[in-house]
Amino acid sequence: MKRTITTLIGILLTMTINAEEEKGIIGRVYEDGAPVIYKFVNDLPEESVRANLTWLTVIAWKYDGSSNNGMPVADVNQRMIALEVAIEENIENYSVLRHVYSRTGNNLKELVYYIHDRENFLEIFNSVLSGHPRYPIEINFYEDNEWKDFKRLLNDFSKAENK
């Protein structure tokens, strides 16, 4: 897969996490010619937070975006938003995860978090989403004690041009 970061849209997003206002980034890259939108907070959390959350957790939703330049069609996008809101409004309250970035495009949506305990996360995740329709997702866990994945994303976007 060829991935080129061509545009950094800039600091456009303000997210509320634990009642603190933090600035975020919405950026666009191109993968194999298709646009992919990333959303993330442009800071590493404190070392104490990183040391406690060592599992990179990727919730992946593959979809057919062939009719929409690799982006999800409206009804699929609404379901994706419902999933993301359920996680942000419910699971984050349990302090078992930290959202690091989301990416949408090239027929794939990923919600990426760092967590402390896989079993605890899955238990809370399934409980919170028990009333939701089944989502066509896959969850993968990767041990990432040093937060290399997120550091790589921050580094990639720090080199992008503002447009």
Residue 146 resides in a domain: yes
Residue 163 resides in a domain: no
pLDDT of residue 17: 38
The secondary structure of residue 96, as a DSSP letter, is S
pLDDT of residue 162: 59
Residue 42 resides in a domain: yes
Q: Which residue has the higher pLDDT, 91 or 26?
A: 26
Residue 8 resides in a domain: yes
- pLDDT tens digits for 137-154? 999 999 999 999 999 999
DSSP strands (E only) in the chain: 3-17, 20-31, 34-41, 55-62, 97-105, 108-115, 137-143
Res 10 pLDDT > 90: no
Residue 126 resides in a domain: yes
Task: Walk across the sheet containing 108-115 and list its strands.
Answer: 3-17, 20-31, 34-41, 97-105, 108-115, 55-62, 137-143
Residue 122 resides in a domain: yes
Residue 132 resides in a domain: yes
Q: Which domain holds residue 8?
A: 3-158
Average pLDDT over all residues of the chain? 85
pLDDT of residue 117: 93
**How many domains does one find in the chain?**
1
- How does residue 12 score in pLDDT terms, banded at 50, 70 and 90? very low
